[in-house]
Structure 1
Amino acid sequence: MAAAIQLLIFLLFCSTQALLVISVTDGGDAAVLRSLKDNWENSPPNWNSDDPCGSQWDGVGCSGSRVTSLGLSSMNLKGSLSGDIGGLSELRSLDLSFNDGLTGSLTTQIGSLKKLNLLILAGCSFSGTIPDEIGDLAQLTFLALNSNNFSGNIPPSLGKLTELYWLDLSDNQIRGSLPVSTDSQPGLDLLLKAKHFHFNKNQLTGPISEQLFNSSMVLIHILLDGNQITGNIPESITLVQNLEVLRLDRNKLTGPVPSKINSLAKLSELHLANNDLKGAVPDLTGMSSLNYVDLSNNDFDLSEPPKWFSTIDSLTTLVMENGNLQGSLPAELFSFPELQQVKLKGNLLNGTLKMGTGISPQLQLVDLQNNKIASVELGSGYNNALILVGNPVCNGGLSTTNFCQLQQVTKKPYSTSLAKCGTCPNGQRASPATCECAFPYAGNLFFRAPSFRDVTNASVFGKLENDLWVKLGLNPGSVYLENPHFNSDDYLQVYMALIPSSGKYFSRLDIQKFGFYLTNQTFKPPAGFGPYYFIADVPVFQGTEGTKLGIAAIVGIAIGSCILLLALAAMAIYAIRQKKRAEQAIELNKPFASWAPSGKDSGGAPILKGARWFSYDELKKCTNNFSDTNEIGSGGYGK
């Protein structure tokens, strides 16, 4: 029996050790992930074991036993982000983008993730204030909280994120001013490694401090459009010599444009429209990288077209509507080789419009509505849109021409050709390469400052398609683009659908990868598209996707089954031995077992069937005439 007990103890020890070997994940990390799962709807189907690392939970990255990344982009998660997330002390990357069912406030425990490099929560529905504790993430390089419902002020503690490269708080409801450092608190002016300040589409107010910008900064994008910022444009902004895109449009800025604005030699996009800027039209002479200029709807002094209208031949788009311009336009303007659009309606331009003979082949639109132009000399070679409605010239011989009609023929925006494909069932898209229907990963790309305005150019958008399938690891012809247009924010909006190269569905891992690449800017669009963001539609997953068990789980089940069989066998052996020992014990306790022939007696005591009468002669004979030799004894002790 002792040997059997020892065998059972050994088997239990082996099974425990086997389970310990299979359970790879740190116990604390596993508990955090189970808590997150319990708090979310629609977590990945293979989040059904107790070992996230060993079972390779979708979206969970590990180094050894510790969880180092959590990427669940576009998983249609619903719920909130609990404070338990702070327990993942080795986490480097957290991407929950494009889960608009994630709501509630952002937990202050996010500040416990001291090793975090990337925090991406774009396209969710988080609300409340941005926690000060984010400023404790000293190793953070990428922070994307755009397209949520955050409110309150920008926490000054963000100024402690001195390793930060990307800061995107756009498209929220953030109020207050842009914080700068003081003796008692940090500020955004300390972010000397940041290249991206994206604060557009919020409710920011107050002036921009002169202290915010300095010559040590390496910013390339400053996006502040769509706020309620007041005061002057700070002169210090001209110290940021790497600046490529400056969007200050749709605010309440006043005063003159900084006189040294033309010192920004790398600037390609300048958006100052829809403010209350005053003084002279800014001098942009010498800005040889400038592609796009919009100075519309300000209160500049009445002036002739500035000299730079004739010299900045890098321009693709010139917009200065309601800009107090008078006089004649220089013909040189229309000869810039990359020029696509000139929009100068609502000014006081007069005299004769002369477009010259060397008109740019790229030019698609000249909009001069509501000026005082009396005559036109087109020259030759221009057959695209010219809008002169509201000018004196339309009261004469040109009144019946297209030039004096608002509804002019325009080219259809680009879309990927599906001419050879049929229709697909609802929710599916045809592959441009094969015409096979499948469920896409789709959404809208928003380019915040493209250098062009032509949405019909097949070469430009074909290059975007090509770069998408190459950089996202898809087969050629797996990208569909549709309806590029400039929306009310003056962003280039393009619908995009990625189509599976085989089968009807993308895997969850594929979709997580696409979402991550499109939020952390792993995907770089072609030159000219500028900074962008992406908002994904809710993807469709295969019904059984993610139900397969991981290798570790299969091994665990196999080993567990073997251990169970061994345990049952040991118990059977033990039971047989116990039965034999019991039978031996019974035999030893049968003193009368030998009274009868073998096999004919039960082993019990003999049973007397009644008393027998013996005669005197029989007794005499049996005792040898009552001899003393047969006497057993006498008295109480047989004496």
Structure 2
Amino acid sequence: MEAAVGRGGRTTTMRLALAVAVALVAACGVRVCHGTTDTQDTTVLRALLDQWQNAPPTWGQSDDPCGDSPWEGVTCANNKVISIKLSTMGIKGVLAADIGQLSDLQSLDLSFNKDLGGVLTPNIGNLNQLTTLIIQSARLYGAVPARLFSDPQLNQVILDDNALNGTLDMGRSISGELSTVSFKNNEFSSVTVTSSYNGTLALAGNPVCARLPNTPYCNVTQRSLSAPYSTSLVKCFSGTCPAGQSLSPQSCACAYPYQGIMYFRAPFFHDVTNDTAFQALESMLWTKLDLTPGSVYLQDPFFNSDSYMVVQVKLFPSGDTAYFNRSEVMRIGFDLSNQTFKPPKEFGPYYFIASPYPFPEKSSSSKSKGVIIGIAVGCGVLLVALAAAAAYAFVQRRRAQKAKEELGGPFASWARSEERGGAPRLKGARWFSYEELKRSTNNFAEANELGYGGYGKVYRGMLPTGQFIAIKRAQQGSMQGGHEFKTEIEMLSRVHHKNLVGLLGFCFEQGEQMLVYEFMSGGTLRDSLSGKSGLHLDWKKRLRVALGAARGLAYLHELADPPIIHRDVKSSNILMDEHLTAKVADFGLSKLVSDSERGHVSTQVKGTMGYLDPEYYMSQQLTEKSDVYSFGVVMLELIVAKQPIEKGKYIVREAKRLFDASDAEFCGLKEMIDARIMNTNHLAAFGKFVQLALRCVDEVATGRPSMSEVVKEIEVVLQSEGLGSSSTSASTSATEFDVTKGAPRHPYNDPPPKKEKEVSTDSFDYSGGYSFQSKVEPK
């Protein structure tokens, strides 16, 4: 009998153990297995943690990301990481290449981490299980790997509001599951998409759309409206809250809302006072986002200049809770950035830009009485000190404000967007602090100087992400006024083209004016032609450099809004990247052309002698054809590799004097041609190039082609020779001319105007180059 009982007890125990085991296996299969996370996945997450600041507090606190104390935002199945959702966490750093080793990752959302930058690693194409990639409103830059779009499970890619650039090439093998690709507000200059892709592609806000505005992926529904105005839809009756908090509409208590802006691109109504519509939006927000009724606050709806309906949204935590926890923020951020949330139909499609969420500092859940008493006593002592310091702080604040107004002028309100709402939204450009640029150049070390001129110096710097930059730093005495500096920045931030040097940002503080550009490792065209840079440009490369620069100028003249006349086109203002792609630089003298000024602009004559349009010099009537003349001089420079005025001879006059149409090979210019290209077996299309250059430098503006015509003719030249037409291959040191006294005379028939002060003739990248020699007398 006892033996039977023993056997029965053992049987029962075994059945119980088996049941527990089955339950554990089931639990592991559902979401998180509380065992050891896959070693490789753990290593990858730790690599990400090493690259980041402000990662969620739970990251790194346990050795097992999927264990009993899982890392926030990480979802696992079968001990493998399948999802990372860290929207609006304030993460700073770069996206490490190791992420490509998360072999089971299905969903990645790192949106609204505005200091998360770096390149989009090609290793992301290794994620064969990836269905969703969302990284909106970050600082990603560089090219997008074509391999990404071939992942067989990939369904959607949303990388809006970054600085991704170059050509968007989706490759030839696009996932059949891919339905949504959105790269709005990036820096793509071209796009390559095969006909096999049938999903949605959104590229509005990219430079490519300025050239191809009617393509399907650039179209945005436009609506005309009367002047927009603001209104508040929900209010508490009274009360104020500390900084960062707002009154919750459900309790009228102060809390920290999750907030951002919803942009409705094509709503089906125009009346922003339509209470019924916005109440329906409120109701759907709290219902679909699992919030408590009444916890949504919609504020100040209006239509912006793009005819988008803009609505400020605040979502409040439930009850008397002051904060959302991190999991709630991740969930809400994902649903809005992923557009899982669907608004009422009359609002149409939208996108959402979140603000950083102010998570509370970590604190222990309980404190001993002694600690509490100690804190109370300490606070009492501090009160006395604070009272004494208050007056001093007030005085110092007044002094600081006064100094800022004196120093900043119109820039007094130009602060980081995160800190102050008055900063302008500059597309593709951001505010840099003085300390940030100082660190990037090793305290503006002499070893990092790239060049200098009348405006100041240019330095090479490196950002924490590893990106190289070029910093144009004004010297005391040459700085523009605040309004002029602001105008130049706003203009530069509007022009985005593959063949224009990109403005990354600016600095205006501590008595400094600095512009931050993309770094151009190839240097100036002037340096390459003179042999200073060490780069060798054969004839084919020179043709492609000419085409790239011409495309950049044609964009300024015809596609920029409003059009822009560069006014200082010269070889030292044409820069090249590591692929020898030519980009036009230095917009310090550029002029915007309004509709009323179409035809010409009356303005003081500015430019660089040798490149200066003589008709503009004599009439003071500036037109786009003035840039065409300067570009024609550059074309001749590409042939002779000498400065426009050298040893008393002017390149344009000499070329016209020697030109012989009957000389099919050299057009009579053999004695002028650069020896480095004379050795070329065949100077492809040389005659056509020379004739185009001479038309550009016609004495009369009406005899010159437009820049778009120049582009077409150079493209025809290249294509006819079988070379292909790919172009891949602030202030300035220029001079102002006083021609107001007496009758204006031709600038190249008399000695050039004398200046009281000479400008350095050394190359000055990003801000003009050499200047003419004031003693030269062209003959």
- Give TM-score, length-normalised by structure 2: 0.41
TM-score by length of 1: 0.49
Larger Rg: 1
Of Structure 1 and Structure 2, the greater helix share is in: 2
